[in-house]
Structure 1
Amino acid sequence: MKKIAILALLICCSITLSAQYDEPTAPDYKSIEKNINNSSSHLNYEVLMERYRMGDSTMTIDEKRHLYFGYVFQPSYNPADTSQYNTRMATVLNKQYFSDQDYEEVLQYAEALLKEDPFNMRALNAKLLVFAQKNNVEAYRRTAKQRNIVQQAIISTGDGMSKSTPYYVIKVSHEYDLLGFLGFKFGGEDKIERNCNCNSLTLAPNRFGVDKLYFDISPTFEYIKRKGSGKI
């Protein structure tokens, strides 16, 4: 109970969810698919994606959830995280000092990653770094709002403390992206849990006393099932 209370406090301090989701709620993928394909609905996917690209902070939590989880029904959805731009961007970011050219390359790689995965929080964080350095306030605010949209959609689904209350994500890589936001570091073990659609990550020692977080990755399993094989 202590761990749950501490984590709940952290989450409450980090973000505020709308009254529609007073408690964490698992995404209803069937309902989401229906709603995003309704051309006359405010939940239509093209409408939601355009608002996301604009960094629209007025999006409701329901709209954010339809945006994030609705992506699994788009032709471009691929849960694999094997882009060459991940390595290229990481190589530059690992430098001790950045030149102007380094910042340009980071921005270039981040944009390329976001074309492949519009909710890549590593890429969004990288863009924030560049915009802060360049004092581009407008771009920084827009990107920060985009990141917030993704984080709120995920956090609204669970507390990550058990298999029955996992955080729902559409890609395994998003699990790692979320750790820093929650105040954690990866502990070294990534495990597919038995008898559920969950993956778990152990955590490095932390002040909250949390040892492991659980994530539901149902869309990833469904994708692999359709394709016959795949790397996540």
Structure 2
Amino acid sequence: MLHVKLLALLIFAFKICQGQEVDIDRIKIAIRDTAHQYHYPKLIAEFVSQPQYFSMEKGINLYYGNLYAPNYKTFEFKAMTEFAPLVKKGRLRKAISVGEELFKENPVNLYLLLGLGYCYKQSNQTDKAELTREMAAVLIRAIEASGDGSSTEKAYKVISVNDEYTLMEKNNWTGKTRTSKKTQNSVFDVWEIKENTSALYFEVLYNLKEKFIFPE
């Protein structure tokens, strides 16, 4: 994983009204409706060009709508296996080249956006670094609006385990132990956090169109 040392220049604090409803069924209908303002291609086009103007509701539809986008893959590891090693080795030019190709495949990838933003900043590509930061901000706001992590009912909802770790790094939460429980379309992760005596809850949502057996 890209650890917090690599993300230190990009992670930033948000104060958000948490607990907005994430209605997956409604989102799925909206992003597939060509006449809807949240039709997914429209959201993507605005996201990659003007993310700074994204409302909270747009961000929520974009982030969770990715579960039902045509290019969605239940488990995608290219950002970790092809991109992250290059960043860690300091091969920033190659990392940017690989990262930008992965971005074309799916720009709604928080892990990739943060890594690319770091590469751009280190390479003095200020405009690209800022644009990428704004895109990452849209996704983080959507996650933080989904709950407060205090219970199963108020769990932070993420579409990738990587996003779970990213939110923990952003808030300087150190996980001590994790227990997981699978449901039909998600996995609940419950963390014991070093900095807090209360448990921290995440729900990792999946579109399980691909056959996969969760590890026990």
- Scaled by the length of structure 1, the TM-score of the pair is 0.75
Q: 1:119 aligns with which of 101, 104, 108?
A: 108
Looking at structure 2, the residues matched to 201 and 105 of structure 1 have their Cα atoms a distance apart, in angstroms, of: 37
Tell me the SS of whatever aligns to 1:107: helix
After TM superposition, give the deviation of residue 46 of structure 1 in Å: 1.1
Instruction: Measure the CA separation in 2 of the matches of 1:68 and 1:195.
Output: 20
Residue ranges of structure 1 left out of the alignment (5+ in a row): 1-12
2:202 alignment partner, one of 209, 215, 232: 215
Structure 1 equivalent of residue 139 of structure 2: 150
Per the TM alignment, residue 24 of structure 1 is displaced from its structure 2 partner at its CA by 0.6
Distance 1:171 1:212, change over 3 A: same
Letter of the structure 2 residue corresponding to residue 229 of structure 1: F
Deviation at residue 132 of structure 1 after TM alignment: 1.3
| Number of the residue aligned with 1:9 | none
Which structure 2 residues correspond to residues 1-232 of structure 1 after superposition, within 5 A? 14-17=13-16, 22-83=17-78, 85-95=79-89, 98=90, 102-187=91-176, 189=178, 191-192=180-181, 197-202=186-191, 205-206=194-195, 209-210=196-197, 212-218=199-205, 220=206, 222-223=207-208, 226-229=209-212
> Over residues 167-222 of structure 1, what are the superposed CA-to-partner deviations in whole Å (9 max), with x where a residue is unaligned?
1112223212222122223435352267994421535522xx1554222234x1x4
Consecutive unaligned residues in structure 2, runs of 5 or more: 1-11
Is the 8 Å Cα contact of residues 121 and 129 (structure 2) preserved in structure 1?
A: yes
Question: What secondary structure sits across from 1:176 in the alignment?
Answer: helix
CA separation of 1:196 and 1:140: change in aligned 2, threshold 3 A = closer
Tell me the distance in 1 between the aligned counterparts of 2:35 and 2:184.
Answer: 39
C-alpha distance in 1 between matches for 2:140 and 2:25: 22
- Please tell me whether the aligned partners of residues 32 and 69 of structure 1 are also in contact (alpha carbons under 8 angstroms): yes
The question of whether the paired residues in 2 share the 8 Å contact of 1:176 and 1:186 is answered with no
Query: How big is the alpha-carbon RMSD for the aligned residues of Structure 1 and Structure 2?
Result: 2.7
Structure 1 residue 136: Cα displacement: 1.6
The answer (yes or no) to whether the contact 2:18–2:148 under 8 Å persists in 1 is no
Report the alpha carbon displacement of residue 228 of structure 1 after superposing the two structures with TM: 3.6
Structure 2 counterpart of 1:6: none
The higher radius of gyration belongs to 1
Instruction: State the TM-score, normalizing by the size of structure 2.
Output: 0.80
Instruction: Determine if contact 2:60/2:142 at 8 Å carries over to the other structure.
Output: yes
In 1: Cα distance, 2:193 partner to 2:118 partner: 25
Give the CA deviation at 1:86.
1.3
Quote the sequence identity (%): 19
After TM superposition, give the deviation of residue 67 of structure 1 in Å: 0.7
**Structure with the higher fraction of residues in helix conformation:** 1
| Alignment coverage as a number of residue pairs | 204
Q: CA separation in 2, counterparts of 1:173 and 1:231? A: 16
Task: Report the CA distance shift for 1:211/1:118 in structure 2 as closer, same or farther (over 3 A).
Answer: farther
Rounded to whole Å, the distance in 2 between the matches of 1:231 and 1:56 is 34
